[in-house]
Amino acid sequence: MTSHADNYGLPASFTTIALFGANGQIGEHILHALVTSKRKDFKVIAFIPPGADLQTSQSVTIKSFDVEKATRAQLAEDLEGVDAVVSAVNGPAALEAQATIQDAAADAGVQRFYPSEYGMHHIYRKPGDPMGYIHPAWNVKALANERVIRHLAVRERKMSFTVIGCGDFYNQARERVWCPWTQDPSSVDQYTLHAIGNPHAEADYTHLDDLGSFVVATLLEPAKSHNAFLNVVSDTISTTHIARLLCRYSGKKVEVNVLPKEKMHEIWEDPAKAPAEHSDSAFPVDFWYLVKGTQGKGDDESSDEKLEDGKRIVEVTGADDPIDPHNWPLHKRARTVLILSLLIFTQAWAGACDSIANTKASKQYHVSPVAQNLSTAVYLFGIGCGCLFVGPLSQTFGRNPAYLGFTLVYLPFILGTALSRNYGTQIVCRFFAGLASSAALGINGGSIGDMFRPVERALWFPVIAWVNVVPPVIAPIAGGWVVSRDYLDWRWVNWITFIISGFALLIALFFLPETYLPMLLDYKASHLRRLSGSPDYVTKHASFSFPQQLKHVIHTSVRMTTVEPPVISLGCFLVLLYVILFTFLSGFDYVFKRQYDLSDLEEGACFASIALGATSVSLCAPALHAWTWRQADYDARASVRPEFRLWPAIITAPLLPISLFWLGWTNYARISIYSGLAACFCFGIVLNAIRGIGAGAICVVSIREETEGEE
């Protein structure tokens, strides 16, 4: 089958190339790429102005080209036998002469023409101006390209064209104002980069060597570049990113001078208003203001900053902004969940770690076993009290300071519990340990919501719920092993908790990233203030103090727990589940140990039945995620109906009364112990399922508080 390009009789590659403007900034890089090509030995004819010098390979034929005196007939004679003409001329007069070059090329039978002006071609519409305006230099470029593609030889299919565009050039050695990085570091004390509008917006940049290589690649495969508009970009990068790289590799101070986009309109109307330091530019200053003001992805509609009361409000640049934890790579989010799970696991473990040792502890403290059970209950009281203010703290200072700061407070009180010599000291230390663990146990649902969209949460909430509910029921297993060993003091249940909690803190201290988006934007604004030297970069989040956050959260919490039936019912259900769970911690002594004459180790092992039930729910997470995925019409960014999230609770809730009646009615020595363990297995199922719904509710409340707080 013959392709459309074959109708022109195109060769496999072009061999003889005429390059106009070979001594210019762009032309010399194209020439270098031609003479150093390893894939083909091009025959190159280089056209340069009269009197100009060109240092190049001896294989290159050099001819003179005077833009004012060159005639069509003379050029046609010079272009005999040429396959392709590449124009790299610059300036209005040279671009006008480009028409003559193409006419001559058509007369000489040249098959391909590459017009000049490879730089950016932007039309910027001033707000409120439907017509827009273009710099005169761009008018010349646009007209030159228009002539090329509408040339008679092109219309008659005797010649084809390839128009190549690119980004702003990285290495314009003669442009010291707008490309200061081309200066030798030894000759400058500091670099100053100029940005019009948003310095964090990404723009296209092209290295001249890459442009030269790209032109050669199109000459080697004419069919692929036949009558084509192509673009070559080396990097898409922001001014602030360039500043960081320049600072790192030059060792010099780099300042970013940020000018408002309104300045572009002002300079356009009167170039004399441009700052004096910009007058040294190799190009007209209003030309550069238009280039820098219109390039990149940070235009008014999608910018990550907005003007408000004279301040620049830093926001996300769009749905795919990499600063948003929702857009982090999956491996990074999974690693964050793993580290967070270590913190949750160890601090949930602490709540029940010494429950199995209550009998021995009560004897040492000279209190009744019932009174000793308070050491377990008071840990829960501490968590409840801490949750009142840990949410506002995390929304004011970030998740990480809350997790790490509270864990640093938690560890000394766990140590105090292990070292306590009287009942009062133990109770006080347990209360404050619970208070400090409220961060890890109270806001983890919010962290999951920070990183995962609604559809993804169906997979991750059962996982985080498992980490919350399983430690309290497997800690007694380890505690039973410790207590059953005569050579170990019962306090080792607290020492083990202290050791694993310290390990989790070290991991989190070095590897746990911040996930709260408003805080990440605060960090970004701070970075922009340092980089630009301007104090105008702020975020909406920074305007809210801790007292304001606390007042707002308490108001929202009270309102939702008094007027929202779903929140009220779910809260009561969770309270009931946790009361039953922590009653089991001391109740198993009566239910299993005394009834079936078990040892401490065997009593602790009975808790594994609850853990297995909870684990079975988490193993269903992929199926729940697939179900949610279908409900969202396979759209990862879609949400799902709130009622849909209740299905795990609807399915498993009946198991709660069933498991309790089952355990109560079959708890006799004459009936196998496995009957009671099966009932506990069912309780573990409903415990994890409802806890997963609770984690989702925490996430929703966190997002709602944040949204309402910004209104």
- Give CA–CA dist 333/337, Å, rounded: 6
**409 versus 644: which is more confidently predicted?**
409
Region 537-558: what's the mean pLDDT? 75
Task: Kindly tell me the burial class for residue 157, based on how many C-beta atoms sit within 10 Å of its own C-beta (0-12, 13-18, 19 or more).
Answer: exposed
Residue 6 has pLDDT above 90, yes or no: no
Residues with Cβ within 8 Å of residue 301, at least 6 apart in sequence: none
Residue 81 has pLDDT above 90, yes or no: yes
Region 516-526: what's the mean pLDDT? 89
* Chain centre distance of CA 550: 28
Closest by CA position to 104, among listed 70, 141, 134: 70
**Residue 176 DSSP SS3:** coil
pLDDT of residue 127: 52
Per-residue pLDDT of 641-655, as tens digits, reads: 666 677 777 888 888
Q: Round to the nearest angstrom and report the end-to-end CA distance of the chain.
A: 63
Tokens of 554: 């308490």
Region 407-421: what's the mean pLDDT? 94
CATH 3.40.50.720 fits 5-303, yes or no: yes
Residues with Cβ within 8 Å of residue 639, at least 6 apart in sequence: 454, 455, 632
Mean pLDDT of the chain: 81
∠ CA 169-175-179 to the nearest 5 degrees? 60
Per-residue pLDDT of 438-452, as tens digits, reads: 999 888 888 988 998
Region 296-311: what's the mean pLDDT? 49
- Give CA–CA dist 45/59, Å, rounded: 9
Closest by CA position to 312, among listed 31, 631, 535, 149: 535
Region 617-632: what's the mean pLDDT? 73
Region 371-386: what's the mean pLDDT? 87
Q: How confident is the model at residue 194 (pLDDT cuts 50, 70, 90)?
A: confident
Residues with Cβ within 8 Å of residue 403, at least 6 apart in sequence: 340, 343, 439, 440, 443, 508, 512
* C-alpha separations of 354 from 407, 422, 434, 479, 480 in Å: 19, 15, 13, 6, 9
Residue 529 has pLDDT above 50, yes or no: yes
Region 396-416: what's the mean pLDDT? 94
- Give CA–CA dist 415/572, Å, rounded: 33
Residue 703 has pLDDT above 80, yes or no: no
For the chain, give every domain's residue range. 5-303, 325-710
pLDDT of residue 706: 46
pLDDT of residue 309: 55
Residue 699 has pLDDT above 50, yes or no: no
**H/E segment holding residue 262:** helix 262-269
Q: How confident is the model at residue 18 (pLDDT cuts 50, 70, 90)?
A: very high
- Give CA–CA dist 211/233, Å, rounded: 8
- Give CA–CA dist 680/79, Å, rounded: 92
- Give CA–CA dist 697/607, Å, rounded: 27
Handedness of CA 331, 333, 336, 341 (dihedral sign): negative
pLDDT of residue 684: 87
* Chain centre distance of CA 338: 18
Within 10 angstroms of residue 94's Cβ, the number of other Cβ atoms is: 22
pLDDT of residue 286: 66
**Residue 426 DSSP SS3:** helix
Q: Give the number of C-alpha atoms closer than 13 A to the C-alpha of residue 428, restricted to the C-beta side.
A: 9
pLDDT of residue 61: 92
pLDDT of residue 709: 45
- Give CA–CA dist 448/73, Å, rounded: 74
Region 694-700: what's the mean pLDDT? 49
**391 versus 160: which is more confidently predicted?**
160
pLDDT of residue 400: 93
- Of the listed ranges 95-99, 349-353, 388-392, the least confidently predicted one is 388-392
Per-residue pLDDT of 108-165, as tens digits, reads: 999 999 998 766 544 444 555 444 445 566 666 777 888 898 999 999 999 999 998 8
Closest by CA position to 160, among listed 89, 225, 77: 225
Q: How confident is the model at residue 3 (pLDDT cuts 50, 70, 90)?
A: very low
Beta bridge partners of 85: 18, 113
**639 versus 186: which is more confidently predicted?**
186
**692 versus 228: which is more confidently predicted?**
228
Q: Are strands 235-238 and 305-308 parallel, antiparallel or unpaired?
A: unpaired
Cβ contact 692:617 at 8 Å: yes
Most confident of 246-250, 370-374, 637-641: 370-374
**326 versus 241: which is more confidently predicted?**
326
pLDDT of residue 122: 46
Residue 536 has pLDDT above 60, yes or no: yes
The b-or-e profile of 267-290 (16+ CB within 10 A means b, else e) is bbeeeeebeeebeebeeebbbbbb
Residue 101 has pLDDT above 70, yes or no: yes
Region 278-297: what's the mean pLDDT? 65
Handedness of CA 346, 347, 350, 351 (dihedral sign): negative
Closest by CA position to 13, among listed 221, 212, 178: 221
Closest by CA position to 443, among listed 489, 392, 407: 392
Residue 296 has pLDDT above 60, yes or no: no
Residue 79 has pLDDT above 80, yes or no: yes
**78 versus 540: which is more confidently predicted?**
78
The b-or-e profile of 441-455 (16+ CB within 10 A means b, else e) is bbbbbbbbbbbbebb
pLDDT of residue 4: 42
Q: How confident is the model at residue 569 (pLDDT cuts 50, 70, 90)?
A: confident
pLDDT of residue 299: 44
Cβ contact 560:567 at 8 Å: yes
- Give CA–CA dist 654/549, Å, rounded: 38
Residues with Cβ within 8 Å of residue 375, at least 6 apart in sequence: 354, 358, 361, 426, 427, 430
pLDDT of residue 610: 86
Region 232-250: what's the mean pLDDT? 82
Q: What percent of the chain shows pLDDT beyond 70?
A: 83
pLDDT of residue 174: 66
Per-residue pLDDT of 177-186, as tens digits, reads: 777 877 777 7
Region 585-611: what's the mean pLDDT? 81
Region 661-669: what's the mean pLDDT? 87
**What are the phi and psi torsion angles at 339 (to 5°)?**
-65, -45
**What are the phi and psi torsion angles at 373 (to 5°)?**
-60, -20
- Of the listed ranges 238-247, 268-277, 292-301, 560-569, the least confidently predicted one is 292-301
Q: How confident is the model at residue 201 (pLDDT cuts 50, 70, 90)?
A: confident
Residue 213 has pLDDT above 90, yes or no: yes
> What CATH number does domain 325-710 carry, 3.50.50.60, 3.40.50.10540, 1.20.1250.20, 1.10.580.10?
1.20.1250.20
Tokens of 24: 């210019």
pLDDT of residue 128: 52
Per-residue pLDDT of 454-513, as tens digits, reads: 778 877 888 888 888 888 888 888 888 888 887 888 889 999 999 999 999 999 999 999
